Amino acid sequence: MSGKGKYSLLKRKEVIMAKYVSGGTARGVRRKVRSLKLLVPTLLIGVALVGAACSSSSSPSTSQSTKPVTVHESMTILTGSMIKHPGWPMFSPADLTLPKDSTVVLTIYNYDDGTAPLSAGSLFDKVQGGTETVNGSAVTSIPNANISHTFTVPGLSLNIPIPPAPTPGANGRTPTVVTFTFKVTNAGTYTWQCEAPCGTGPTGMGGPMTTAGYMTGSLVVQ
C-alpha cells in the first residue's frame, strides 16, 4: 500500500468514526474529544462542590440538636403575716413547668426572716444536685442554725438550703436572694418539699408543710 493509500484509509476511518459518533466530520470528532477532556475535570470539580455543599448543609441541623437551652425561673417565699395567714409561710408560685434537657437557673427571693433549724444530723443543710449562691456568693451548705426553709426535690436529688431574710428595717423587708443552677433531663412530675420545720403544731411539721401551694408543690418537666 502506498503512503497516500494509507493516508486515505486512515482518513476514511476517521470520517466513518466521525459520522458514527457525531454525524459530523473528523474535525467535529477532534473537537468533541477536546471538549470531553475539558468536561471530565469540570464534572469532578462539580461533584466535589456538591459534596461540600451537602456536608455544610447538614452541619447546622447537627448543631441545632445539641444547642443548650437555659431557662430562668423565680419563686418568692412570703411569711404568713405577709399573706394574712399567720404561721403559714408560702412559696409563690409553688408549681413550675420546665423544659426537659435544659439548664435551669432558679432564683428564690426569701422574705421570711424566721429560722427553722433542721433536726440534728440532717443532711438538708447541704447543697445537692446543682450550684447555689446566696446574695451572690457561692455556698455548699448553710449552718443548721441559719436555715429558714429548704427546696428539696427527692426525685431529682436536689436540695437547696435557704437562709432567712435580714430582720425587717425601717424601709420594710428586703429578701435574701438564692440562685440555684441545675440540669433537668427526663420528663416527669416531681414533688418538692420544704424539709425545715417551719409549719404549725408542736413539731413545726403541720399546716403549710403538708399543704400544696405552701411548703410543697410540683415541678413538671416536659
Contacting residues toward Cu ion, per CB under 5 A? 149, 194, 196, 198, 215
Catalogue the E-assigned strands of 70-215: 70-78, 90-92, 96-98, 102-110, 131-134, 137-139, 149-153, 158-162, 176-184, 188-193
Nearer to Cu ion, 150 or 179 (CB): 150
State in angstroms the smallest separation of the CB of 222 from Cu ion: 26
Q: Is 101 left (phi over 0), alpha (psi -120 to 50) or beta?
A: left
Nearer to Cu ion, 130 or 199 (CB): 199
State in angstroms the smallest separation of the CB of 53 from Cu ion: 59
- State the burial class of residue 116 (Cβ atoms within 10 Å of its Cβ: 0-12, 13-18, 19+): buried
User: Are 95 and 103 spatial neighbours (Cβ–Cβ below 8 Å)?
Assistant: no
User: Are 187 and 100 spatial neighbours (Cβ–Cβ below 8 Å)?
Assistant: yes
Nearer to Cu ion, 18 or 209 (CB): 209
Nearer to Cu ion, 26 or 194 (CB): 194
Nearest to 86 by CA among 98, 96, 78: 78
State in angstroms the smallest separation of the CB of 158 from Cu ion: 15
State in angstroms the smallest separation of the CB of 209 from Cu ion: 7
Nearer to Cu ion, 98 or 149 (CB): 149
User: Are 189 and 219 spatial neighbours (Cβ–Cβ below 8 Å)?
Assistant: yes
State in angstroms the smallest separation of the CB of 133 from Cu ion: 20
Query: Of all residues in this chain, which one has the CB nearest to Cu ion in the complex?
Result: 194
Nearest to 80 by CA among 217, 219, 204: 204
Nearer to Cu ion, 174 or 216 (CB): 216
Q: In what order do the strands lie in the sheet with 158-162?
A: 96-98, 216-221, 188-193, 149-153, 158-162
Nearer to Cu ion, 149 or 184 (CB): 149
CA angle 172, 173, 176 (to 5 degrees): 155
State in angstroms the smallest separation of the CB of 123 from Cu ion: 16
User: In this structure, what C-alpha cell is assigned to residue 217?
Assistant: 408543690
State in angstroms the smallest separation of the CB of 178 from Cu ion: 13
